[in-house]
Chains A and B, each alone.
Chain A
Amino acid sequence: AQTVTQSQPEMSVQEAETVTLSCTYDTSESDYYLFWYKQPPSRQMILVIRQEAYKQQNATENRFSVNFQKAAKSFSLKISDSQLGDAAMYFCAYRSENYGGATNKLIFGTGTLLAVQP
């Protein structure tokens, strides 16, 4: 069974600085997707960024980028130029690429609570 581990329960960053959130996962599959989701306080969870395992190039979305190391099964999220609105719980998630049924489900890590200091 696949597992996702986020070893940093809480992180803090100064506004305008850069922060990296860590995520490791365990799987025997070769094809899968990885995601970072953001859950702001009292607001809906939204997708920040996704990575297909077959792509060697790291995904980037504006100030958010990932460092995907397939062999090491590591998937970290880097937030550049941190803003107050980045304060949230961040979840790393895994999804199998296999077809059908509950393999469509997301497997989540335990989350990292990011505080942004003004």
Chain B
Amino acid sequence: DVKVTQSSRYLVKRTGEKVFLECVQDMDHENMFWYRQDPGLGLRLIYFSYDVKMKEKGDIPEGYSVSREKKERFSLILESASTNQTSMYLCASSLWSGRAYNEQFFGPGTRLTVL
């Protein structure tokens, strides 16, 4: 079974803090994704990575950065957390195969509260 794990289920941070959300997958997937989930808005893509050190902006990258130094790990960084970044953050991974579809597997999510 594919396993995608996230470092924390719940996290509480203060405004202005630097926040790291970690995601690890154990199936040698090339693609990794960070989504933000908000009620009434569904899931929105923040960043995605298709290889080590490679990244692309998603739909809402402002206020976030990412790091992928190893294939299995994809980190989401909030450089200076703000209250409007309070949300559920979901990580996902998938194989890369060009046009063909490969299922995205999701982690359990991190519910971040910024006070």
Residues on A lying within 8 angstroms of B by beta carbon are: 4, 6, 9, 33, 43-47, 50, 52, 91, 95, 97-102, 104-106, 108-111
Which among A4, A47, A100, A105 is the interface contact of B33 at CB below 8 angstroms? A105
Complex CA–CA separation, A108 to B59 (angstroms)? 12
Interface residues of B in 88-113 (CB under 8 A from A): 90, 94, 96, 98-99, 101, 103-104, 106-109
Complex CA–CA separation, A104 to B103 (angstroms)? 11
Q: Which 6 pairs of residues, A with B, have the shortest CB-CB distance?
A: A45-B106, A108-B42, A108-B43, A110-B42, A105-B45, A99-B99
Closest B-chain residue to A1, C-beta based? B59
B31, B43, B94 — which one has the most chain A CB atoms within 10 A of its CB?
A: B43
Interface residues of B in 23-69 (CB under 8 A from A): 31, 33, 35, 40-45, 48, 50, 56-58
Complex CA–CA separation, A95 to B98 (angstroms)? 13
CB of A98, distance to nearest CB on chain B (Å): 7
Q: Are B90 and A45 in contact (CB under 8 A)?
A: yes
Contacts of A44 in B (CB 8 A): 4, 106-109
CB of A82, distance to nearest CB on chain B (Å): 23
Q: Are B101 and A109 in contact (CB under 8 A)?
A: no
CB of A87, distance to nearest CB on chain B (Å): 17
Q: Are B43 and A95 in contact (CB under 8 A)?
A: no
A-B contact count (CB 8 A): 55
Q: Are B48 and A109 in contact (CB under 8 A)?
A: no
Closest A-chain residue to B43, C-beta based? A108
Apart from A52-B101, A105-B58: 11 A-B pairs, beta carbons within 8 A: A33-B101, A44-B106, A46-B106, A47-B103, A50-B103, A91-B42, A102-B45, A102-B56, A102-B58, A105-B48, A109-B42
